[in-house]
A and B are shown apart, each in its own frame.
Chain A
Amino acid sequence: MTLFRPDPTFYPSPRMAMDAPPEKVGYVATLNYGGAPKPDALAVVDLDPASKGYGEIIHRLEMPYIGDELHHYGWNCCSSALCPAAPHPHQERRYLIVPGLRSSRIYIIDTKPDPARPTISKIIEPEELMEMSGYSRPHTVHCGPDAIYVSALASANGKGSGGIFMMDHFNFNVLGPWEEDRGAQDLSYDFWWHFTHDVMITSEWGKPAQFENGLILDDLINSRYGKNLHFWDLRRRKNVQTVSFGNDYQLVFEVRPAHEPNKTYGFVCVVLGLKDLSSSIWMWHRESSGSWGITKVIDIPAEPADAKLLPPPLQGFGAVPPLVTDIDLSLDDRFLYVSCWGTGELLQYDVSDPFHPRQTGSIKLGGIVRRMAHPKSGPLLGGPQMVEISRDGRRVYFTNSLYGIVDDQFYPDKMSGWMAKVDVDPNGGIALDGNFFVDFGETRAHQVRLEGGDASTDTFCYPS
């Protein structure tokens, strides 16, 4: 916090961020689930091809407690620090804000002085979080220019509405809830924004009772999981519009707005179409009236399968759902990556024309039935799940765990954790890197964050 010039990882525009130097290390939230009672850890993976340890776990920072369920996390600050409304360009991108989804504890992890050996610099205990914010089950972390914004899946008692709370980005104190008026919003999950348009978008999963003991089939069939997208006035903190996907579409997950600050569209994945177990990608767009519309732009069908090969929740259906649980958009807003966690496939779409995506690449790895092996592995359980794109758009990393107990529902043979990578052809197309395979053993691997930022951590305020 004593820089005299802006943090070199900040970029005014997404196009400029694409010229950033390649990442040398990556951070992976890892989970101990179902095995020996050990704490979760943040693993540091060497991503420098010139290094001897390339593709290896070079450090593990163990948390002091057991049972956090480290899940999504983010940086204390990012390129949004250059935004003119609340400029803080001399802050340092050095702290990872790492929430425990199950424990409601938040770790502030310092990646300096040695990015390869991060340390815990502060712990926000669940009681403090709940008391100050009124929320629990913290999930997505985004670095805003004026504060750190964190979504939470439930109220402090675990039963009421989830929402968003703010944290001071200098001392990391929890400041309080963000909303002034939540309107029709009750369920919570992911969020992001069109910052220069003062618009926030939030999505929906479910209440803790609907996921902490596993997904509930009855709730799915009866449309009790999230099926809405909410649009908020970021400045007045009010829900201005709620758009429903209807009862046929459940689990509205990852929100990926276009990075270019003058655009007002983005993508969101819906995990399950109840009629045919398909997954779908929808695009939101601002209409001439100023209100928001949604259009389904990608439909990914389920794959028929022998019931004998399926886990119990799917046996009655005779098909493997793609279970698209994460998507990620490259910084040039050109390629959308789609994780099919159920079928075991990573898809690449050219979304230059966002209304008409074109599939340009695919690799298969893992999958409930297919269990496709990597050149450096045996048959694999799990499938591409959390996906992260390097700032230059040339490398895409992904891990295979969704959420401890849900992993076991769909992959009951107790999957191990792994991380793989594809190389991107700038003209479209992806190829699996046969040399890059990180084996986390019994530990599950969830979200990946890249040193210096990636395609889902930064907000840019100046058009390219």
Chain B
Amino acid sequence: MHPLIHSAIHHDALISWLAMIGFGAYHGLNPGMGWLFSLSRGLQLQSERAVWSSLIPIALGHGAAVTVVAALVLAAGHLMDPAVLRVVTAATLLAFGVYKLFRYYRHPLWVGMQVGMRDLFFWSFLMASAHGAGVMVAPVLLSLTRPHGLHTAAEEEITSAVVMLLAISVHTAAMLGVMGLVAWVVYKKLGLAVLRKGWLNFDLLWAGALLAVGVVALFGALSGGGHH
């Protein structure tokens, strides 16, 4: 079996892959992360197509923000011991979670409703970065980049990068799917009234989620760093 595929479907990695999909779905559910913008554009332009076409740059912006974090994690891997990196990642998550817990209502300032594809991309990038979407998936990415059965450092490195990109793609696809589904259901079936009742305080939930993921990551890092 090719080592890349071997690594990807390794039994230990299954939970991590499911986690990437789960986080993607969760990010897609949050109105503030994207689908609300696509919905409002669809309504403003009276076009169901606009709902869909807006989702693409939003998903890409989100994916890009996660990629930046992934690249940072990879780079950090060169500078420190993997076990230390895991603790550092978990600590960052916890710090971000505590910060969001007390400042959960703060959002990046973004003024503008007439937006093109590029604006939506940057807006989504900004939202995902500021809210720690990338940080949230970092420990999972770390656990996925421990290749098995490889011999050379170069091979390891390439494999790590490819697996990360694959994981980010899966995460982004899951987010896009959930975002699209929610936007479509609200656009076609539920209507705007759902915003009044169904819009839970995702910002507060988000802070809680960051903390929860941080605790799990810290526990994993301290207990040997794997799903053994």
Q: Report the separation of the CA atoms of residues A12 and B186 in the bound assembly, to the nearest whole angstrom.
A: 13
For A84, give its contact among B37, B114, B200, B201 (CB under 8 Å). Answer: B37
Interface assignment of A159: CB less than 8 Å from any CB of chain B: no
User: Inside 8 A of B107's CB, which chain A residues have their CB?
Assistant: 86-88, 146
Interface centre among B107, B112, B113, B115 (most CB of A within 10 A): B113
Name the CB-closest residue of B to A195.
Answer: B113
Give the contacting residue for B200; candidates A5, A10, A13; CB below 8 A.
A5
Among A84, A90, A170, find the residue whose CB has the most chain B CB atoms closer than 10 A. Answer: A84
Is A463 in the interface zone, CB < 8 Å from B?
yes
* Residue among B40, B114, B203 making CB contact with A462, cutoff 8 Å: B40
Whether B73 is near chain A, meaning CB under 8 Å from some CB there, is no
List A contacts of B32 (CB < 8 A).
87
- Which chain B residues lie closer than 8 Å to A5 at the CB level? 196-197, 199-201
Closest to B203 in A: A90
User: Distance in Å from the Cβ of B42 to the closest Cβ of chain A?
Assistant: 10
- Most chain-A Cβ atoms within 10 A of its Cβ — which of B40, B111, B193, B197? B111
| A interface, size bucket | 35 or more
B39 interface residue (CB < 8 Å to A): yes
A461 near B113: Cβ-Cβ < 8 Å: yes
A84 touches B36 (CB 8 A): yes
Q: Is the CB–CB distance between B195 and A146 below 8 Å?
A: no
- Chain A residue numbers with a CB within 8 Å of B115 are 85
In the assembled complex, A112 has its CB within 8 A of some CB on chain B: no
Q: A235 and B44 in contact (CB under 8 A), knowing A1-B105, A85-B37, A90-B105?
A: no
- How many interface residues does chain B have, given as a range? 20 to 34
* A463 x B43 contact (CB < 8 A): yes
Distance in angstroms between the alpha carbons of A13 and B46 in the assembled complex? 14
Question: Using Cβ atoms and an 8 Å threshold, which residues of chain A touch B110?
Answer: 85-86, 146
| Interface assignment of A82: CB less than 8 Å from any CB of chain B | yes
Is A462 in contact with B112, judged by CB distance below 8 angstroms?
no
The residue of chain B having its C-beta at the shortest distance from the C-beta of A235 within the complex is B112
Q: Is B162's CB within 8 Å of the partner chain A?
A: no
Task: Point out the residues of chain B lying under 8 angstroms from A90, CB to CB.
Answer: 105, 201, 203-204
A86 touches B203 (CB 8 A): no
Q: Tell me if B111 and A146 are in contact (CB < 8 A).
A: yes
User: Could you give, for residues 71-89 of chain A, a 1 whenever the CB lies within 8 Å of some chain B CB and a 0 otherwise?
Assistant: 0000000000011111111
The smallest beta-carbon distance between B118 and chain A, in angstroms, is 14
| Contact (Cβ within 8 A) A89 B114 | no
Tell me whether A11 is interfacial, beta carbon within 8 Å: yes
Per the bound structure, the CA–CA distance linking A235 and B39 in Å amounts to: 21
Q: Is the interface of A mostly helix, strand, loop or mixed?
A: loop
B44 x A6 contact (CB < 8 A) = no
Task: State the Cβ distance, A338 to closest chain B Cβ, in Å.
Answer: 30
B201 interface neighbour in A4, A170, A235, Cβ under 8 Å: A4
Find the residue from A12, A170, A261 having the highest chain B CB count within 10 A.
A12
CA distance A88 to B106 in the complex (A): 8
Per the 8 Å Cβ criterion, residues 185-220 of A in contact with B are 195-198
> Residue on A with the closest CB to B106?
A170
- Which of A4, A8, A197, A462 has most chain B Cβ within 10 Å? A462
What is the chain A residue whose CB lies nearest that of B198?
Answer: A5
Selected from A4, A170, A195, the residue in CB contact (under 8 A) with B204 is A4
Contacts of B46 in A (CB 8 A): 262, 463
Among B21-46, those with CB < 8 Å from A are 31-32, 36-37, 39-40, 43-44, 46
Give A84 to B199 CA distance when docked, in angstroms: 12
Chain B residues within an 8 Å CB radius of A86: 107, 109-111
Decide if B72 is an interface residue (CB 8 Å cutoff): no
Take A5-B200, A90-B105, A90-B201 as given contacts and tell me if A234 and B195 are in contact as well, using a CB distance cutoff of 8 Å: no
Taking a contact as CB atoms under 8 Å apart, the answer to whether A12 and B196 are in contact is: yes
CA distance A170 to B104 in the complex (A): 12
Q: Is the CB of A4 within 8 A of B195?
A: no
Name the B residues within 8 Å of A6 (CB-CB). 195-197, 199
A16 at the interface (CB under 8 A from B): yes
Known: A1-B105, A84-B36, A146-B111. A196 touches B201 (CB 8 A): no
* A147 contact set on B, CB distance < 8 A: 109
Say if the beta carbon of B166 comes within 8 Å of chain A. no
When the two chains form their complex, are residues A198 and B112 in contact, meaning their CB atoms are under 8 A apart?
A: yes
Residue of A nearest to B107 (CB): A86
Q: A88-B107, A462-B40 are in contact. Are A235 and B114 (CB under 8 A)?
A: yes
CA distance A87 to B115 in the complex (A): 16
CB contacts (< 8 Å) of B199 on chain A: these are: 5-6, 82, 89
Closest CB in chain A relative to B12 CB, distance in Å: 37
B161 sits at the interface (CB 8 A) = no
Shortest CB–CB separation between residue B220 and chain A, in angstroms?
30
CB distance A197 to B197 under 8 Å? no
B190–chain A nearest beta-carbon distance, Å: 12
Tell me, yes or no, whether B192 is within 8 Å of chain A by CB: yes
- Set of chain B residues within 8 Å of A89, measured between Cβ atoms: 195, 199
Chain B residues with CB under 8 Å of A36's CB are: none
What residues of chain A lie closer than 8 Å to B105, measured between beta carbons?
A: 1, 88, 90-91, 170
Contact residues of B with A, CB < 8 Å? 31-32, 36-37, 39-40, 43-44, 46, 105-107, 109-115, 123, 192-193, 195-197, 199-201, 203-204
10 additional contacts, CB 8 Å, given A86-B110, A90-B105, A462-B195? A5-B196, A11-B196, A83-B40, A86-B109, A87-B36, A89-B199, A170-B106, A196-B114, A198-B113, A463-B43
Binding site for B on A (CB under 8 A): 1, 3-6, 8, 10-13, 16, 82-91, 146-147, 170, 195-198, 234-235, 261-262, 461-463
3 pairs of A and B residues whose beta carbons are closest in the complex: A12-B192, A235-B112, A84-B37
Q: 24 A-B contacts, Cβ less than 8 Å apart?
A: A6-B195, A6-B196, A6-B199, A11-B196, A12-B193, A12-B196, A84-B113, A85-B37, A85-B110, A85-B113, A85-B123, A86-B109, A87-B107, A91-B105, A146-B107, A146-B110, A196-B44, A198-B111, A198-B113, A198-B114, A234-B111, A262-B44, A462-B44, A463-B46
